[in-house]
Each structure stands twice: as C-alpha cells, then as structure tokens.
Amino acid sequence: MNKGLSNYFIEGLQGSGKSTTVNRLSKQLPEYKVFREGDYSPVELAWCAYVTKSQYQDILKRYPSLENEIVTKTIEEGEHRIICYTQILTDVEGFHKDLEQYEIYNGNLDKASFEKVILERYEKWDGQGQIFECSIFQNIIENQMLYLTMTDEEILDFYRRLKQILSGKSYQIIYLDVDDIRSAIEVIKKERSDENGNELWFPLMVRYIEASPYAKEHSLHGMEGLLAHLERRKALEHRIINEIFQEETIIAKNYTFTIMNR
C-alpha cells in the first residue's frame, strides 16, 4: 500500500448527497485536494473535452474570441489536451454543444477505446490525499449501460480489471445508498430549479436518458424511464461492490460513516 494519506471516491445515485458529502469531507480534511465533476481530474474526464493536438488547434481557430479562456482551462497530457469546457462561461452560440462531441462519454468512443482511456488513466494515477466526486462509478457506468449498451457481466468484467489496476493504491469508496429513488429525484428536481421554479436539471437528465440506444431499445421515457434506469444501475453498483470492492467500500445512509485509514 502507498504510504501517506488515503484517497476517497464518493459514489451513489443522483440525489444521494454526493456533493454535500464532498463538501463535508473537504472541511473535515482541509489538507486533501478535491476533484468535483467538471474539474480536471487525474482519473476521470466528466464534462471535459479529450482532444488531440490537431483537434485542439482546430477548436482555437473556431473560437478565437474564447482562446484565452480555452487555454486557461486546458491541461496537456502527452499527445492529448483536456479542456474543462463546462467551466468556460460564454454566450458564444454552440460552443458547449460543439465541445461535447469530444467527451469520452455519450457513446463518442467505442467500448475498447473508452475502456483503454479510463484504465490507462487509473494505471498512471498514484495520488494521495485526494477526494473524488463520482469518478469511479457514475459517469463510467452510465456510459457503459446507456450508450455502449454493455451487459451487466461485461461491466463487471471491466471493474475486475480496474480492481487489479488499483492494487497497491490507497483508497476507499464511500457509497451513499438511496432507499427511495423516486423521492430522491423529486428532491433534486426542486433543488435544481431556477428562482421561478423552472426545472433545470430534470429535463436535461431525461433527454440524456432518452437519447441513449439503451433507452430507445427498452422504451424508457420521462420519470418512469429514469427510475427504471436508476433501479438497474443501483442493483449493478451493489453487485460491483459486493463481488469486487467489498473490502474497499463503506456503504452509508444519511451521511453516516466513519473515515478510516486517514
């Protein structure tokens, strides 16, 4: 095992309290570095564009008025550039939609290419004292389930390989369990609305589900489709924990857990 501070992966379904828990831990452990969704992360690429050098230059040419902001939010990794594009606030029409195509999610990469990117990043990672928000389950599993239409067994096989790569690295998964998924979704529907009560998050989440090949094949629509997907995802994540990551995982409810191996 690595010496020094451990690392924490905060996981759970939407509405389980991941952001609240990350904030709580960051206050308890001020010496730790926090990686939230959309941040540059050494292991995960949610809400970031993953581009080659030539693609990066093309993007700079397409958006000259945003060049400074793009450069500021870009990290070089070997032959690739990672742009934290969702952190760029702009009214330039089409910018965010354009860069979305360079994410590794939403079926933009085939199964082999997607897994290669994720596994290589985890293999290179050797961090200490780091807290990650939904970097080991949520975004990866949703892409695998919804857009790559992988079976549960294929996803379990991926996580067995990831477990081998993580051997010798110091980490704990804190999994925030949800008993009543519908109630959790209803809460965040209200929380993530504007001052006039217009829902911001829920319509986007439903469109994300409905646009996927899995949803089209299984006729998932609206709230009921979202709930059906999350029920399957919850069952699969529990299998991954029980069969692969049991010793490394704390399953918590109502934010009750004890930090170990600090």
Sketch the domain layout of the chain as residue ranges.
Answer: 8-42+112-252, 48-102
Q: Quick one: average pLDDT of 105-122?
A: 97
Provide the mean pLDDT of the chain: 94
Confidence of residue 253 (pLDDT cuts 50, 70, 90): confident
Q: Are strands 80-83 and 74-77 parallel, antiparallel or unpaired?
A: antiparallel
- pLDDT at residue 157 is higher than 60: yes
CA angle 96, 98, 102 (to 5 degrees): 100
pLDDT tens per residue across span 39-91? 999 999 999 999 999 999 999 999 999 999 999 999 999 999 999 999 999 99
Range 8-42+112-252 classified under CATH 3.40.50.300: yes
Confidence of residue 255 (pLDDT cuts 50, 70, 90): low
Residue 118 is given by DSSP the state H
Q: Which helix (H) or strand (E) holds 169?
A: none
**pLDDT for the residue 197:** 86
**Residue type present at position 123:** E
**pLDDT for the residue 174:** 96
- pLDDT at residue 212 is higher than 50: yes
Beta bridge partners of 35: 132
Q: Quick one: average pLDDT of 95-108?
A: 97
Q: Which tops the pLDDT comparison, 261 or 253?
A: 253
Q: Which helix (H) or strand (E) holds 92?
A: none
Packing angle, helices 181-191 and 222-243, rounded to 10:
120
Structure tokens at 196: 């006039």
Structure tokens at 56: 């990066």
3-class DSSP state for residue 65? helix
3-class DSSP state for residue 79? coil
Residue 86 is given by DSSP the state G
CA angle 193, 188, 73 (to 5 degrees): 70
Contact assessment for residue 46 and residue 139, using Cβ atoms and an 8 Å cutoff = yes
